[in-house]
Amino acid sequence: MRSDPQRLSFEIEARDGSARAGVIHTAHGPIETPAFIPLATKGSVRALESAEVGELGYQLILGNTYHLFVSPGPERIAAAGGLHGFMNWTQAIITDSGGFQVFSLAHGGVADEVKGSGRSGGHGSEVEISEEGARFRSPRDGAELFISPEVSMSVQAQLGSDIALVFDECTPFHADRDYTARSTERTHRWLERCLAWHGEHGPERQAVFGIVQGGTHEDLRRESAQAISAAGVDGIAIGGTLGRDKEEMASVLAMTAPLLPVEAPKHLLGIGEVDDLLGGIALGLDVFDCAVPTRLARHGVALAPSPETRWRLNMRKGGWAGNREPLVEGCPCPACRCHDRDYISYLSRAEELTAVRLIVLHNLTYMRELTTGARQAIKNGTFASYRAAVLAGSPPWAAGEGGRDTP
């Protein structure tokens, strides 16, 4: 691990068991943790203007290196003043490496991601993975593209993010142990190349996070955690396949989290379901990114305190006509303050874009309330009761003494 307060620093303000509340300081301001990170995949948080995301209370968003590399291209974004200038976002940005999306093209793990990138025609998704990097066809026009550790770091440098993730190979669930071991070793070699490039060419105030791989194998996770922790990184992310179901994922995270340096900020990649996020916070993880809140909104699904339906309220189903209740009682979001279930259901079933926008506002508010409530509960020493209340069906703002303070 390295420490340079001009680039990034992390302070832990309170602990409750392994859970902790802290602040990550970046070149574009602080990030209070635990924190959920909305995805700005293509330079936009779905349906919202940048200022609105900040008004919801978010201090950090995630840009997708793969998608922005494919289109509009890093040179165009750099000419606009980086991703901050391009999308007029004044707070912190983290960018992924592109590894997850590139290797999903090869392994078929995220079909929705690929379809969402603008694929047209009959272009294949074959990916040639070598020690040098990954060569693949653009899903937009079939042009050959290449991403290596150096290319990934160069793109992220042009994007100007506050935190860049190293280029890694994200192995699929069906990969056997031998392949996972070879892939993890390659990821460690790529880590060295990423850090070497960044040390010579990277922005001085851009921090770099390493990624722990190793699949579901405890020995590989341990080796990877040791390798990443010993490297010159500013923080650590947990990536790769985490198992076939929630139970196995929880087991993998429980064995991985204690292997990481206590002083490091820890990012769990791609996980953001309500119960999983609370489980990650309990293990001492700090930041979480996931497409779930915005993806659900696209399909007319709102987050709600309903564990039996996986915290989902489907507004495209029938039965909401005449229902004057808000999506969730007590929710401070604009959708719940100003509209009822009848209206939002009507808009969603009519495929009106306003429905997507309203549900995105609601879902991101729900996730913000969830993490700010957890943060306050950790400071109060009541995180266990807060977590239990939310898992039992209480909304975050009413989760007993563990919730955030109310005026």
Q: What is the DSSP letter of 232?
A: S
Q: Which of 168, 276, 286, 289 is catalytic?
A: 289
Asked if 245 is an active-site residue, the reply is no
Sequence-distant (6+) residues with CB within 8 A of 184 are: 171, 213, 214, 215, 220, 223, 224
Q: Which of 16, 96, 168, 234 is catalytic?
A: 96
Strand 127-129 relative to strand 134-137, pairing: antiparallel
Sequence-distant (6+) residues with CB within 8 A of 140 are: 70, 71, 117, 118, 119, 120
CB atoms within 10 A of CB 407: 2
Query: Could you tell me the strand order of the sheet in which 144-147 lies?
Result: 127-129, 134-137, 144-147
Number of residues assigned to the chain? 407
Where do we find the tokens 């200038």?
Answer: 85
DSSP 167-205: P-----TT--HHHHHHHHHHHHHHHHHHHHHHHHHS-TT
Strand 8-16 relative to strand 60-63, pairing: unpaired
275-to-91, 279, 314 alpha-carbon distances in Å = 27, 6, 18
Asked if 405 is an active-site residue, the reply is no
Q: How many whole angstroms separate alpha carbon 34 and alpha carbon 31?
A: 9
Q: How many whole angstroms separate alpha carbon 78 and alpha carbon 91?
A: 17
Active-site positions read: 96, 289
